[in-house]
Structures are given as C-alpha cells and as structure tokens.
DNA sequence: TTGCTTGCAAAGGGTTTGCATAGGA
DNA sequence: TCCTATGCAAACCCTTTGCAAGCAA
C-alpha cells in the first residue's frame, strides 16, 4: 500500500469529486487551490503512482492523458470540438468479441475503445 | 487534387510499401535514403496533407501518431512491450453496437478501437 | 510572376527527470 | 536516522510554426 501523503490525498479527493476526466495540468490547477505549493512534477508522479496502485485509471483520450477515479466498467465519448469527455455505459467485455476479431499470435491484455462525436453543447452552438 | 511533389510521392510510395504503421520520424529516416535533403517538417506537413486528402490514414496508437496507407476497413493490435503494430481483421462497423452502447445526446462521428497485447516475438523473448 | 512547397531552425505542448531539500516512519 | 516524497527547473519527445528561398504553373 502506498503512503497517503497530503498531495496524494488531495489529488485523489479532487479526482473523485469530478466526472470530467481532467488532464494533469487541469488537475494541477485545481489541486493548487488547496495546496498552493504543489508542483506539476508531483502531480504527474503521483498520478502515475496512483494508477499503478489501481486507485485511478489513466486514460489516453485524444492525444492527452486524462484521469478517472471511477473504476467501474464503462466507456468514454470524446467531443472532437471542445475536447470534453463523458462516461458511456458499456456491455460486458466479453461482448467485444462479437464486434472485433481477436488477433492471431498476440497475447491480448486489453483493448481501448472510445466514441468520437460532438457533444450536446457544441451541437447547439453550431446551430 | 493535391499536387504530387517528389516529397509527397516518395512519402506515399514508402508508406504503401510497408505494413508496420511507421511513425513520422521513422518514415523520415526511410524517406531520407531517397531524398537526403528532406526535412522533418516537410514529412509532418505532407503526412497531414495526405491524410486530409484521404490518401492515407493517421492513427493515434499508444501516444504517438502512426500512418497507414492501407485504406481497407481493419483494426490494429499494439504490442505494449515493443510498440509494434499489426493489422487485425474486423467485423463490419455496424457490429460495434453489439459491444458498445452509443452515448446519449452526442452526435457520433466515429469510434476508435485497438487491441493491446504482447506480440509473438516479445512473448518468445520473455520465455 | 504568383502562389504553393520546401528546408531550416526555433518554438510549442505535454511529460519526465535530476537534484537538493523537507518530511514521515 | 534512513528512506521516501517534494519543489523546482531543466530536459525530453513529438509536433507545429515562421520565414526566406526554391520551384512549378
């Protein structure tokens, strides 16, 4: 078990209190309101550590890393215009095989899936 | 239609002659053997342009951009150890709905899927 | 000539790293 | 005390951009 330093606690707490899958620098800005002297390096180091410990998920959505404290099984939609990310319900992992054929020879350890689209707000703004 | 400069022709030709989904800098090294004075900037600019023209596909696999001249419908597996990428057969796009539930409110424009695993060569090396 | 394309180099964004200091067990 | 964690700054990788020169229509 990893030691719960104030930085880690606040980081985890901040992440648990949101559903917008923030990037490291966005999280950095939020955490800084509670720990003004925290550094970006510490944020990155601890996000890595927390994800290795399985306390959060590290997502690679649209080029930038994003983080999620919701560990339940779900997928994500990303708005290609504003970049926001929402949760989406998702069938059980087994059902993936119905749609995608597993590759030969590889030992499969996982898969990555995301929807890409335009979020309701952006649709409204574009008429 | 885009003008076919020597740089673009060689870039496209080089990409069509391989199936390993090279990154921009790998492609740069290969193209440089035929056009020693080409610059990385030109490689990036033309890969963008060729993908906008629909002549190649730009893939975002594992943090780095990779490029593919195979325009047929297929998926990819990425080896989490060596980073290599292979093609995988794939069911029709419609079947995606069987595995993933489309999000509410979003206008969906596409989806991204990739398998992650360990390639045969890396399996062998690790015993 | 005019406009697109290039090479070069610098800048950019996101992330990682080295190091001396600070802090907890 | 010892070892880990931190802040800070520099380095890093990949990609984009500005600009003057080059080339094609």
Residue A3 main-chain phi, psi, to 5 deg: -70, 135
Q: Which residue has the tokens 């890396």?
A: B122
Per the CB < 8 Å rule, is A90 touching B109?
Answer: no
SS3 content of chain B, % helix, strand, coil (to 5): 35, 25, 35
- Alpha carbon separation from A114 to A14, A61, A85, B12, B23 (Å, rounded): 24, 8, 10, 29, 22
Note whether A99 contacts B: Cβ–Cβ < 8 A: yes
Largest CA distance in chain A: 51
- B95–A90: do the CB atoms touch at under 8 Å? no
In angstroms, what separates the C-alpha of B71 from chain A's closest C-alpha?
Answer: 18
- Over the stretch A23-39, which tens digit does the pLDDT of each residue have? 999 999 999 999 999 99
Phi, psi of A5, deg, nearest 5 = -75, 160
pLDDT at B127 over 70: no
B84 CB contacts (<8 Å, ≥6 apart)?
B20, B78, B119, B121
Res A127: pLDDT: 64
Q: What is the mean pLDDT of chain A?
A: 92
Helix (H) or strand (E) run with residue B9 in it: helix B6-16
If pLDDT is split at 50, 70 and 90, which confidence band does A14 have?
very high
Query: What tokens appear for B7 in the block?
Result: 């740089």
> Reduced to 3 states, what is the DSSP secondary structure of residue B10?
helix
Instruction: Kindly report the bases of strand D lying within 7 A of a protein C-beta atom.
Output: 4-10, 14-18, 24-25
In this complex, do A98 and B98 lie within 8 Å of one another by their Cβ atoms? Answer: yes
Kindly report the CA angle at B69 between B63 and B74, in degrees rounded to 5? Answer: 75
- State pLDDT tens for residues B55-104: 999 999 988 999 999 999 899 999 998 999 999 988 777 777 777 888 88
- Going by pLDDT thresholds of 50, 70 and 90, the confidence category of residue A95 is confident
- Whole-number pLDDT of residue A62: 85
**CA geometry: angle at A111 spanning A110 and A117, to 5°?**
155
Model pTM score: 0.92
- Which nucleotides of strand C lie within 7 A of protein CB? 4-10, 14-18, 24-25
Alpha carbon distance B27, B68 (integer Å): 11
Which nucleotide has its C1' atom closest to residue B42's CA?
C6
Q: Which one has a higher pLDDT value, A1 or A68?
A: A68
């Amino acid at each position: 078990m990893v030691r719960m330093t104030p930085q880690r606690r606040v980081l985890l707490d901040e992440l648990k209190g949101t559903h917008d899958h923030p990037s490291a620098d966005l999280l950095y800005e939020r955490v800084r309101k509670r720990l003004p002297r925290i550094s970006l390096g510490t944020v990155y180091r601890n996000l890595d550590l927390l994800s290795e410990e399985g306390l959060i998920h590290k997502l690679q959505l649209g080029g930038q890393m994003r983080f999620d404290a919701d560990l339940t099984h779900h997928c994500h939609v990303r708005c290609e215009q504003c970049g926001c990310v929402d949760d989406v319900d998702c069938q059980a992992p087994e059902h993936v095989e119905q749609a995608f054929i597993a590759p030969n020879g590889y030992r499969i350890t996982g898969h990555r899936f995301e929807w890409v689209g335009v979020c309701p707000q952006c649709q409204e703004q574009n008429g």
